Amino acid sequence: MMDLVWLTLPQVIANGLLQGSAIALGAIGLTLTYSILRFANFTHGETISWGGYFTLTALAALTPWIGGIGKWGGLTFGWGLVVALGVGVVGASLLALALDRLLFATLRRHGSAITLVIASFGASLALRNLIVFVYGPESVQFTRELVIADRWLGGLVRVTPDQLAVLGLSAALAVGLTVFLRFTTTGRAMRATAENPALAQITGIDTAHVVRTVWVLGAVLATLAGVFIGITAQLRPELGFDLLLPLFAAAILGGIGSVPGAMLGGLIVGLAESAAVEYLHAGYRNAVGFLVLIAILVIRPTGLFAARG
Amino acid sequence: MLALQGLVAGYEPGLPIVRGASLQVADREILTLLGPNGAGKSTLVKAIAGLVPITAGQVHLSGRDITGLGAHRLARAGLGFVPQTENVFTTLSIAENLALAGFFLPSHHQRRRVAAMYALFPDLAERRHTDAGRLSGGQRQMLAIARALIPEPRVVMLDEPSAGLSPKLVQVVFQKLVEIRAQGVTLVIVEQNAKAALAIADRGIVLVEGAPRFVGPAQDLASNPEVARLYLGRRETA
Ligand SMILES: Nc1ncnc2c1ncn2[C@@H]1O[C@H](COP(=O)(O)OP(=O)(O)OP(=O)(O)O)[C@@H](O)[C@H]1O
Ligand SMILES: [Mg+2]
Q: From ligand 1's centre to the CA of B165, what distance in Å?
A: 21
Evaluate whether B200 touches B31 at the Cβ level (below 8 Å).
Answer: no
pLDDT band at B237 (very low <50, low <70, confident <90, very high): very low
**Strand-pair partners of B24:** B3
Spatial distance between the Cα atoms of B73 and A238, rounded to a whole number of angstroms:
44
| Domain annotation covers residue A304 | no
pLDDT score, position A288? 85
**Ligand in closest contact with the CA of B12:** 1
Task: List pLDDT tens digits, range B150-161.
Answer: 999 999 999 999
pLDDT score, position B152? 96
pLDDT score, position A309? 32
Distance of CA A88 to the CA centre of its chain: 14
Evaluate whether B162 touches B171 at the Cβ level (below 8 Å).
Answer: no
pLDDT band at B232 (very low <50, low <70, confident <90, very high): low
pLDDT band at A308 (very low <50, low <70, confident <90, very high): very low
**B72 near A CB under 8 A:** yes
Contact residues for A40 (Cβ-Cβ < 8 A; gap 6+): A34, A117, A120, A248
Whether A192 sits inside 8 A of B90 (CB atoms) is no
Q: Which residue has the higher pLDDT, B128 or A149?
A: B128
Query: How confident is the model over A84-96, as a mean pLDDT?
Result: 97
Nearest CA in chain A to B83: A199
The answer to whether residue A263 scores a pLDDT higher than 50 is yes
Whether A195 sits inside 8 A of B90 (CB atoms) is yes
Spatial distance between the Cα atoms of B80 and A61, rounded to a whole number of angstroms:
53
| Domain annotation covers residue A30 | yes
Of A196, A206, A207, the CB nearest to B89: A196
pLDDT score, position A306? 65
What separation in angstroms does the CA of A97 have from each of A15, A116, A119, A193, A219? 34, 15, 15, 18, 9
Q: Which residue has the higher pLDDT, A148 or A252?
A: A252
| Domain annotation covers residue A309 | no
Give the whole-number percent of chain A exceeding pLDDT 70: 98
Query: How confident is the model over A4-28, as a mean pLDDT?
Result: 91
Spatial distance between the Cα atoms of B194 and B228, rounded to a whole number of angstroms:
9
pLDDT score, position B228? 74
Q: Report ipTM (2 d.p.).
A: 0.93
Q: Tell me which residue range forms the domain holding A31.
A: 2-140+150-299
The answer to whether residue B236 scores a pLDDT higher than 50 is no
Residues near ion ligand 2 (Cβ under 5 Å): B 42
Spatial distance between the Cα atoms of A184 and B50, rounded to a whole number of angstroms:
27
**Residue ranges per domain, chain B?**
2-237
| Mean pLDDT over each residue of chain B, to the nearest integer | 92
Spatial distance between the Cα atoms of A252 and A27, rounded to a whole number of angstroms:
9
Distance of CA B106 to the CA centre of its chain: 25
pLDDT score, position A307? 52
Spatial distance between the Cα atoms of B191 and B160, rounded to a whole number of angstroms:
5
Burial class of residue B176 (count of CB atoms within 10 Å of its CB; 0-12, 13-18, 19+): middle
Whether B90 sits inside 8 A of A206 (CB atoms) is no
pLDDT score, position A177? 92
pLDDT band at A112 (very low <50, low <70, confident <90, very high): confident
Task: List pLDDT tens digits, range A26-69.
Answer: 999 999 999 998 889 999 999 999 999 999 999 999 988 888 88
Nearest CA in chain B to A209: B72
Task: List pLDDT tens digits, range A198-250.
Answer: 999 999 999 999 999 999 999 999 999 999 999 999 999 999 999 999 999 99
Evaluate whether A127 touches A50 at the Cβ level (below 8 Å).
Answer: yes
Of B70, B83, B103, the CB nearest to A199: B83
pTM across the whole model? 0.91
Contact residues for A166 (Cβ-Cβ < 8 A; gap 6+): A18, A21, A22, A228, A231, A232
The answer to whether residue B75 scores a pLDDT higher than 50 is yes
The sign of the CA dihedral A180, A183, A189, A192 is: positive
Determine if ligand 1 sits within 6 Å of the CB of residue B41: yes
- What is residue B146's DSSP assignment? H
CA dihedral of A253, A255, A259, A262, whole degrees rounded to 10? 10
Residue from B19, B37, B43, B234 whose mutation best tests the ligand 1 pocket (most atoms within 8 A of CB): B43
pLDDT score, position A87? 97
What separation in angstroms does the CA of B169 have from each of A131, B136, B137? 63, 11, 9
Q: Burial letters for B140-154: b for 16+ Cβ neighbours within 10 Å, e otherwise?
A: bbbbbbbbbbbbbbb
Highest mean pLDDT range out of A216-230, A285-299, B220-234? A216-230
Helix, strand, or coil (residue B119): helix
H or E element: which one contains B104? Answer: none
| Mean pLDDT over each residue of chain A, to the nearest integer | 90
Whether B100 sits inside 8 A of A308 (CB atoms) is no
Whether B147 sits inside 8 A of A203 (CB atoms) is yes
* Amino acid (1-letter code) at residue A92: A
Task: Please tell me the residue having the least CA distance from ligand 1 atom 31.
Answer: B38
Q: From ligand 1's centre to the CA of B11, what distance in Å?
A: 9
Interface test with A, best of B72, B96, B111 (most A CBs within 10 A): B72
pLDDT score, position A147? 76
Q: What is the CATH number of the domain that holds A214?
A: 1.10.3470
pLDDT score, position B230? 65
Question: Considering only CB atoms, which residues of chain A are within 8 Å of chain B?
Answer: 185, 188-189, 191-192, 195-196, 198-207, 307-309
Under 8 Å CB pairs connecting chains A and B tally to 74
Residues from chain A that touch B69, judged by Cβ atoms under 8 A, are none
Spatial distance between the Cα atoms of B127 and B81, rounded to a whole number of angstroms:
23
Determine if ligand 1 sits within 6 Å of the CB of residue B182: no
Query: How confident is the model over A283-305, as a mean pLDDT?
Result: 83
Determine if ligand 1 sits within 6 Å of the CB of residue B153: no
Q: How many CB atoms lie within 10 A of CB A185?
A: 12
Question: CATH assignment of B2-237?
Answer: 3.40.50.300
Task: List pLDDT tens digits, range B105-124.
Answer: 999 999 999 999 999 999 99
Domains in chain A, number? 1
Determine if ligand 1 sits within 6 Å of the CB of residue B46: no
Evaluate whether B25 touches B204 at the Cβ level (below 8 Å).
Answer: no
pLDDT band at B231 (very low <50, low <70, confident <90, very high): low
**Ligand in closest contact with the CA of B17:** 1
Spatial distance between the Cα atoms of B86 and B89, rounded to a whole number of angstroms:
7
pLDDT score, position A221? 96
The answer to whether residue A117 scores a pLDDT higher than 80 is yes
**B11 near A CB under 8 A:** no
Spatial distance between the Cα atoms of A247 and A26, rounded to a whole number of angstroms:
6
Residues from chain B that touch A309, judged by Cβ atoms under 8 A, are 90-91, 131, 133
| Domain annotation covers residue A305 | no
Evaluate whether B41 touches B84 at the Cβ level (below 8 Å).
Answer: no
3-state secondary structure chain A: CHHHHHHHHHHHHHHHHHHHHHHHHHHHHHHHHHHHHCCCCCHHHHHHHHHHHHHHHHHHHHHHHHCCCCCCCCCCCCHHHHHHHHHHHHHHHHHHHHHHHHHHHHHHHHCCHHHHHHHHHHHHHHHHHHHHHHHCCCCECCCCCCCCCEEEHHHCEEECHHHHHHHHHHHHHHHHHHHHHHHCHHHHHHHHHHHCHHHHHHCCCCHHHHHHHHHHHHHHHHHHHHHHHHHHCCECCCHHHHHHHHHHHHHHHHCCCCHHHHHHHHHHHHHHHHHHHHHCCHHHHHHHHHHHHHHHHHHCCCCCCCCCC
Interface test with B, best of A199, A256, A305, A308 (most B CBs within 10 A): A199
In 3D space, the residue among B19, B88, B91 whose CA is nearest the CA of residue B57 turns out to be B19
